Amino acid sequence: MALSLPPRFMFILAGCVVMLLAVGTRGEAAPEGFIPINNTNVGDIQLLSTIEDYQDNRAFCGCDVRFFSQNGRAVATDRKVRDLVTGDTLDLTGHGYPIALDPEGTHVLVSGDYTGTRLVEIATGMEQPLLASDAEDALFSPDGRLIAITSRDADAIQVWQTANLELVATLGQAKPYVDTHNLEFTSDSRYLLWSDRNDNLNLWDTEEQTTSWQIATNIISYQLSADQRTLVLLKSDFETLEVWDIETREMVSQVVDSRDQSGVENFAISPERHTLAIMYYGGNARLELWNIAVQPAEKIVELDEQYGYGLEFTRDGRYLIVSGNHEPKSCDREAYNCSSGFGDTSDGIVAIDATSGEVVNKAALPNDSRIYTTSLIDDGQLLITTDSSWVATFQLWQLKDSELTFIASLPGGEVQVSPDETTILATINQHFLAVYGVASAARPVQQFVMPGQIVPSSINVRSEPNPEADTIAVVSGDVRILGRSEAGD
């Protein structure tokens, strides 16, 4: 999972539709009855429900924030938290906004509107006060034991125990604005990382709980490897990439761009930590693959063609998938600063052999539109793309080795996949989010409002709570309420 903001858009304040990503790893254990989406059941994906009026219309820039709990059970938006098992919705309008969900999806940390910071049980709304002041950023450790919080009043990072809400540690200052990458736990909860006001990257061992370690200075962005033990750091000169081993606290490799009129735009490390992919911008724009398993690092291949902005390796590390944009977005709801997250679109998807650098496959969208974002799930066997067309849709592709097979196109854009890979959240318009997944006894299709942009014939829509009921016919109209009368009409 990419854990860094690519540098070209670090300081752009635009495009106020934004998204916060929950910390977690792909394929986390799903709640009982949740069915992970994979390349064999992808044809069974349905519209399970919608989340209406999810945006905070009072915000200056209409900041659009959404994130999942680690197990995919709950999803938080600007002012609402939805339990995807029970269908219960916690409306926080006037009481702050959600800033972090616990891994189990049963509690949410709420702050803002000068209401302080509280831990709230989603099912009952019961609150436990934590801070008298509002928090800027927060997250739970993946094991649920700790909560890391930054606030302007404390002017520091505070780490709390979840069980008794006791303060464990007060660490150094974080950057003075909300950013999903100012705080980051490794997936095993062993380390907490944060970047400070001087662009230093710091690390704290949650088990030893000793003094924090400053990994490096003048860092623009970073990525963690899939095993969370290797860091790739981009320095502020936009030319130098350093590879660090977290366990030994040593730099193990380095790649420096020696060309004029170019700089690092994006980068990705393969799961087995052998290959580094680097996208350069400027007059010498290009894509390079480097073998970082040897010292010094050796260039594998250089490709001058512009295939897209997003870089993602398949889970086995054999192939690099290049297309569109693959950038998370951030938003400061207090200062209303939104980073757009808008990168390049691409004409298609390109699969590159990570060992030889050979382009082994290319694919284009069925409607000839340009690809905007890409993401891999199901251990790299299922690819999700979004397009740049006026009517937002996302596409599902089966990925076997380097072969891409188009499966289906569904309504919605700005797609986000839950960490347990059971749920797809997609934007229909400024009023509606669509919740897609595979229905089960634990997750029946819920009664919901259907916006007019969704074509009913393209989705298997059923009534709730009986998943075996006949499909309900939907006639024309901009907004339709689905349900049955007492007479069964």
What CATH code is carried by the domain that includes residue 197? 2.130.10.10
Structure tokens at 96: 């702050």
Which pLDDT score, from 0 to 100, does residue 453 have? Answer: 62
Instruction: Give the tens place of pLDDT for each residue, 457-474.
Output: 444 433 333 444 343 333
Instruction: Give the tens place of pLDDT for each residue, 206-255.
Output: 998 877 788 878 888 899 999 999 999 999 899 999 999 998 999 999 99
Which pLDDT score, from 0 to 100, does residue 353 have? Answer: 93
Which pLDDT score, from 0 to 100, does residue 367 have? Answer: 73
Q: What total number of domains does the chain contain?
A: 1
Which pLDDT score, from 0 to 100, does residue 459 have? Answer: 43
Question: In which domain, by residue range, is 49 found?
Answer: 20-481
Instruction: Give the tens place of pLDDT for each residue, 401-448.
Output: 788 888 988 999 888 899 999 999 998 888 888 999 998 888 888 877
- If phi > 0 it is left, if psi is from -120 to 50 it is alpha, else beta; for residue 53 that is left
Residue 237 covered by a domain: yes
Instruction: Give the tens place of pLDDT for each residue, 348-406.
Output: 888 999 999 999 988 887 777 778 888 888 888 898 988 877 778 899 999 887 888 88
Please state, rounded to an integer, the average pLDDT across all residues of the chain.
78
Percentage of the chain modeled with pLDDT above 70:
77
Residue 210 covered by a domain: yes
CA distance 236 to 238: 5
Residue 10 covered by a domain: no
Look at 105-114, 133-142, 190-199 and tell me which has the smallest mean pLDDT: 190-199
CA distance 144 to 103: 6
| pLDDT reading at 64 higher than 50 | yes
Residue 418 covered by a domain: yes
Residue 3 covered by a domain: no
Residue 412 covered by a domain: yes
End-to-end CA distance of the chain: 47
Instruction: Give the tens place of pLDDT for each residue, 308-339.
Output: 778 889 888 999 998 876 555 555 555 444 44
Which pLDDT score, from 0 to 100, does residue 326 have? Answer: 53
The listed range with the strongest mean pLDDT (280-284, 299-303, 361-365) is 299-303
What's the CA angle centered on 204, arms 202 and 206, to 5 degrees?
160
Please tell me the pTM assigned to this model: 0.78
Residue 53 covered by a domain: yes
Is the CB of residue 194 less than 8 Å from the CB of residue 171? yes
Residue 316 covered by a domain: yes
Is the CB of residue 102 less than 8 Å from the CB of residue 142? no
Instruction: Give the tens place of pLDDT for each residue, 21-56.
Output: 233 333 455 666 789 998 889 888 989 888 887 776
| pLDDT reading at 256 higher than 70 | yes
